[in-house]
Amino acid sequence: MKLVIITGMSGAGKSRAVEVMEDMDFYCVDNMPLDFLLKFAEICLESQDKFSKVALVTDIRSGGDFKKFISDLDEIRRLGVDFTLLYIDANDDTIVKRYKETRRRHPLEIDGEQGSIRELIEKEREMLMPLFDHADKIIDTSYYTPAQLKEQIQNIYAEGESRIKLNIVSFGYKYGIPAEADMVFDVRCLPNPYYDFDLKYKTGLDAEVRDFIMGYRCSKTYLEKIIDMTVFLKPLFKEEGKSTVNIAIGCTGGRHRSVTFAKLLGEALTEKGNLVTVYHRDIDK
């Protein structure tokens, strides 16, 4: 039996995540009460012919004691259930924007809590901290389209592909490090094309910017070392049971150096026969 417990912030994309799991033939349950979790796992374990792949959502709507929830997870593990706790997250600004677009009420507001939407989000984040701390996998959807979230979940949970997948994301440190990153490389130490007026408004996808950055020996050496490090660590990640390794490359704004390095790293790893996806999170900011 394979069990995926989906949790995380309201408005971060849990509903979309469970839809993807349903398309992957998981038996899905939304808004599972915390007190029912252990019993439900026992029932699924007894009927594995029917419940061989299960995904359920439990979050702030479910009520209950999240600290007890963690102890229930330990008990489920002792039962021999193969499960992962998937935490879907997003930054506060993104969640506020999504609530404004959908005009939905926050679950804590429905429960009678008072405060602005930002205050309710802050309180929810504090309440869910035990789950965040114990999550096996974290997906930050702040800059994901629905299609990118679907691809990420499929990369993690799709069956039938034995090769480990490498997800490369470029980002800007001013917007935060991607929460799902397994490896983070900082390229802020390299020469910055931002200060060249002719390059400032271009991106790392433009040949002129790439040539500027890679025209320095330190850039070439750094890229070679990142490639070597990734090739070295990939089988070690696989031995630990990971099906996907998330590699984040960051510069100050996420438009020039990190984009160039993510693109070149993706090309180099693809040439070596790896399954690679490249995403430039902050390139349009």
pLDDT confidence of residue 64: 67
With b for 16 or more beta-carbon neighbours within 10 A and e for fewer, the 43-57 pattern comes to ebbeeeeebebbbbb
Could you give the CA distance from residue 152 to residue 28 in angstroms, rounded to a whole number?
Answer: 18
> For 78-108, what is each residue's pLDDT tens digit?
888 888 999 999 999 999 999 988 888 898 8
Q: Of all residues in the chain, what percent carry a pLDDT higher than 70?
A: 98
> For 174-197, what is each residue's pLDDT tens digit?
999 998 899 999 999 999 999 999
pLDDT category at 159 given cuts 50, 70, 90 is low
- The DSSP 8-state label assigned to residue 202 in this structure reads S
pTM comes to: 0.65
Average pLDDT, the chain: 90
> For 33-79, what is each residue's pLDDT tens digit?
888 888 888 888 888 778 889 999 988 887 767 878 888 888 888 88
pLDDT confidence of residue 161: 47
Give ∠ CA 16-33-68 in degrees, rounded to 5.
115
Residues 6+ apart with CB under 8 A from 176: 91
Domain boundaries, given as residue ranges, for the chain: 2-157, 165-280
Q: Which CATH superfamily is domain 2-157 in?
A: P-loop containing nucleotide triphosphate hydrolases (3.40.50.300)
> For 14-44, what is each residue's pLDDT tens digit?
999 999 999 888 999 988 888 888 888 888 8
